[in-house]
Amino acid sequence: MLEIKNLNKKYGDKQVLFDIDLIAKDGRIIGLIGKNGSGKTTLFHSILKFVKYQGEIKINGHDFSPADYNQIGYLPEERSLLQKLTIYDQVRFLASLNGLKNQETKARLDQWFDKLQVKGKSSDKIKTLSKGNQQKVQLIATLIHDPSLVILDEPFSGLDPVNVDLMKKVILELKKHGATVIFSDHNMGNVEELCDDIIMINNGHVVLNGTINEVRESYGLTRLFIRTDKSKEELAQLPGVEEVHPLNDGSYKLILTDQSYGPELFQILSSGQYIRTFSQEPPTLEEIFKLKAGGKENE
């Protein structure tokens, strides 16, 4: 488990993190979200002691020490493979820093090649690989020593949908085996799909912190998805309806001023008869992100 209390970080006179509190429990996936420049990577670097900070960071109840690096896997946003090395030599070197013997590295590397469907052989040089396969190799180097705390900075960047799915399966496997996983992403769909908890940083301050469901439902069930014969203009005149958005599948998304209008709208739209679609939901994480990152809520 990772615990952060009152974390503050300055670069010279500029403060970039303010009183950050975070608890990341074993066997859970935490999404770290925020605009570019919000402080996400600085938070990662603070956890890893790459930079000096003020505050308290503990792993499994004790202060972070050099020995803890053997239990951490870190995938940086900027990939850093040595292009002239073979895949095996690159992974072997990084694995050795975490105490893995060469024979064990070789055996595990073969298993990871199959799991991530890496094209080529371990004797191939890094420079001969596609961008996607280089990213897979970097992920292998991050995870080959079976870390219990995994930090992934923009892990899906540049991957096609097939490889994104492979990466997601790996992240879910890490959770299944009890690891703590923290990853940053700008795709809120990935965060909603994978994460148990989210923390959002805006201008160095925590502005969201909780489970996905807690955060979404704290905004109320103000999104109504319906199928109806009524026109957009007719829907806009209904009580409690603030906005009407036609969707590509022929349904509508209504933005309500308050979730309490739901039962009344159901009676009006169904007239006591069967209605194919009537689903009242909270805002999506993407909508909440836009609000907290500079939309209406901050005006």
Q: Work out the average pLDDT over 249-275.
A: 93
Residue 296 has pLDDT above 80, yes or no: no
What is residue 83's predicted lDDT score, i.e. its pLDDT?
Answer: 87
What is residue 273's predicted lDDT score, i.e. its pLDDT?
Answer: 87
Residue 164 has pLDDT above 90, yes or no: yes
Q: Work out the average pLDDT over 180-206.
A: 95
Q: Where in the chain is the domain with CATH 3.30.70?
A: 220-281
Q: Where does the pLDDT of residue 224 fall: very low under 50, low under 70, confident under 90, or very high at 90 and above?
A: very high
| Higher per-residue confidence, 66 vs 141 | 141
Q: Where does the pLDDT of residue 298 fall: very low under 50, low under 70, confident under 90, or very high at 90 and above?
A: very low
Instruction: Return the structure tokens found at 95.
Output: 């694995």
Query: Closest by alpha carbon to 85, among 128, 132, 140?
Result: 128
267 vs 97: CA distance, rounded Å:
65
Q: Where in the chain is the domain with CATH 3.40.50.300?
A: 2-213
Q: Work out the average pLDDT over 228-239.
A: 94
Q: Work out the average pLDDT over 170-192.
A: 95
Residue 295 has pLDDT above 70, yes or no: no
Q: Work out the average pLDDT over 126-131.
A: 90
**What kind of fold does domain 220-281 have according to CATH?**
Alpha-Beta Plaits (3.30.70)
What is residue 170's predicted lDDT score, i.e. its pLDDT?
Answer: 95
35 vs 253: CA distance, rounded Å:
26
Residue 108 has pLDDT above 50, yes or no: yes
> Class of the 2-213 domain?
alpha beta
What is residue 78's predicted lDDT score, i.e. its pLDDT?
Answer: 81
Q: Work out the average pLDDT over 280-286.
A: 94
Contact 262, 221 (CB under 8 A): yes
Instruction: Return the structure tokens found at 199.
Output: 């923390």
